[in-house]
Amino acid sequence: MFSLARLFGKEDQFFGLLEASAEEARHSIQAMVKLAKNVGQPGSLEEFAESRRKDKKITQEISEALTTTFVTSLEREDIEALSNALYKIPKTVEKFAERINLAPEQVRGLDFSRQTKLIEQAVETLVTMVRGLRRPDIAQVKSLNDRLQQLEGDADKAVLELLRELYQGQHPPHKTVLLKDLFDLLEKVIDRCRDAGNVVTHIVLKNS
């Protein structure tokens, strides 16, 4: 079987940087879960901003490394695509946190646990996929990617149920707009995880 580790070299910096980016994505989602459990209470956004800043720095490091590394076993655009896909996760999570903090009184009492649980599972699956790039296993990658697709589908159904309740007109217009924005962002977070997983799968299949 094709060995990325063999072609990249034992000390390849890209593995470490991509894994660090996936960890920042996980950290941002863990912070989002904590925020969602205390919905309605104003909280600090610094943890979200810091995670996004760290991931942006990692993304920049990858970009700079690509310009100074003359030989890579993977196509440069694939490395860059995965880096960019991972960065979009904490960036989207931060937007969700910002929206919740805009009007905490409007979201007090809402239960996001079903959605956040699915998102947690998605990012854990994604982190495993990124770590697996060191010793890629096609069957495992396909299985993990299938799981990501399933989680994303379940999350879509969960958000659809929230939207169905929202469109029944039980809330004033300004609250409806805010809630729809939050639901859309939750959907985007898990979509970002799915997109990154698709890039990992593409990389492994291309080089198998």
CATH number of the domain bearing residue 52: 1.20.58.220
Do residues 72 and 17 make contact, with C-beta atoms less than 8 angstroms apart? no
Whole-structure pTM value: 0.88
| pLDDT tens profile 28-42 | 999 999 988 887 666
Tens digit of pLDDT for each residue in 136-185? Answer: 899 999 999 999 999 999 999 988 888 887 788 777 787 888 888 898 99
Tally of domains in the chain: 1
Instruction: Show the domain range for 34.
Output: 4-206
Residue by residue, DSSP assigns 117-132 as HHHHHHHHHHHHHHHG
Q: What is the pLDDT of residues 51-65, one digit of tens each?
A: 999 999 999 999 988
Strand ranges inside the chain, DSSP E: none
Under 8 Å between Cβ of 50 and 93: no
Proportion of the chain above pLDDT 70, given as a percent = 90
Q: Identify the pLDDT of residue 126.
A: 98
Q: Tell me, what amino acid is at 181? A: D
